[in-house]
Amino acid sequence: MKILVTGGIGFIGSHTCVELLDSGYEIVVIDNLSNCSIDAVDKIKAITGKDFKFIECDIRDRELLDKIFSENDFDCVIHFAGLKAVGESVSMPLSYYENNVGGTVTLLQVMAAHNVKRIIFSSSATVYGNPASLPITEDFPLGPVTNPYGRTKLIIEEILRDLWVSDHSWSVILLRYFNPIGAHSSGLLCESPKGTPNNIMPRILNVALKKTPYITVFGNDYNTHDGTGVRDYIHVSDLARGHVAALKYAMENNKVEAFNLGTGTGYSVFDLINTFIRVNEVDIPYSIEARRPGDIDACYANPDKAYKLLGWKTTLELDTMCKDGYKAAVNANK
């Protein structure tokens, strides 16, 4: 089987390419390299010992997409490509709608023109907004979402549902990620966002590498066990394996199906910082400051549906996420 992976050189995409290759799939990877380094291509090949075709391509480039689809008989598309910084999306909403929504519509049009009607979409738990209760199941109400990034994910989910309603020969899998962190155990792949990272783990890593003096804890007055925000952190390799499990389901069903990809356990900011310090034997100074606008108290998954229908569940714990993440960051900064 041949799979097209859009945005396959990014943090989650590159880890998914490793798992796809390790599982024996043939892949073609496209990425516009706007938020990642082309070095990951060779790292994926080194980790897996497998070759694959990489083409620098933006999903808004209809002509090049059409050429790629004309030259390859794809069985499914795994769609990661898109901008993903919450804070940036508030200041640049049009870029997010043009890239994420516009780019996805172009991709879907080219897929339809070439009769490729199976897609696994990289969605996010942010589509649930501020959940009324926890843990979150897939039938929870969606929205309201508090930022343009999250709204693009919700809009794309709706576009995919409308597409399936118009043509039941489509197979659509919506994977709602919780908080991916960590790195492949080889230490060769890591999250290397261009510019200032928004998420907590890249910021903790910058402190661990002494690039920044301390981590800012955005609020300790949340309704959680220690007052700091609680999230469902998931090892990126577990997340990647969820895509391989979803692929099998996508090939056997013509439905729209959403799955939470999380561990089912919530950890606070202090839990994460203290775990990172313990397993890596480094100091992570922090300063407690005001809440970040748009943040919610707590968010974690009920991952039962993915286990029941995909036979997938996470296997890696927070200790391993912190250890693997630090190992990869040290390697990347040698």
Q: Which residues bind ligand WQD (CB under 6 A)?
A: 84, 86, 124, 126, 177, 179, 198-200, 203, 215-218, 229, 231, 269, 292, 295
The encoded tokens of residue 213 equal 């003096």
Q: Which is nearer to ligand WQD, 118 or 231 (CB)?
A: 231
Strand residues in the chain grouped as ranges (E)? 2-6, 26-31, 53-56, 76-79, 118-124, 171-177, 179-181, 215-218, 230-231, 233-235, 256-261, 267-268, 286-289, 298-299
Q: Does the annotation mark 149 as catalytic? A: yes
Q: How many residues does the chain have?
A: 334
Please state the closest distance from residue 275 (CB atom) to ligand WQD, in A: 13
Which of residues 278 and 292 has its CB atom nearest to ligand WQD in the complex? 292
CA distance 74 to 8: 15
Which one from 25, 96, 128, 149 is the annotated catalytic residue? Answer: 149
Give whichever of 112 and 284 is closer to ligand WQD, judged by the CB atom. Answer: 284
CB of 163 to ligand WQD, least distance (A): 23
Give CA–CA dist 209/143, Å, rounded.
Answer: 37
The CA-CA-CA angle for residues 232, 233, 237, to 5°, reads 130
Nearer to ligand WQD, 187 or 266 (CB): 266
Chain residue at closest Cβ approach to ligand WQD:
229
DSSP SS3 for 166: helix
Do residues 213 and 39 touch, judged by C-beta distance below 8 A? no
CB of 149 to ligand WQD, least distance (A): 7
DSSP 169: T
Q: Smallest distance, Å, CB 268 to ligand WQD?
A: 8
**Can you tell me the distance from the alpha carbon of 26 to that of 19, in angstroms, rounded to the nearest whole number?**
11
State whether residue 177 is helix, strand or coil: strand
Q: Which is nearer to ligand WQD, 27 or 205 (CB)?
A: 205
Q: How far is the CB of 286 from ligand WQD (least distance, A)?
A: 8
Contact 231, 270 (CB under 8 A): no
Q: Active-site residues: which are they?
A: 149
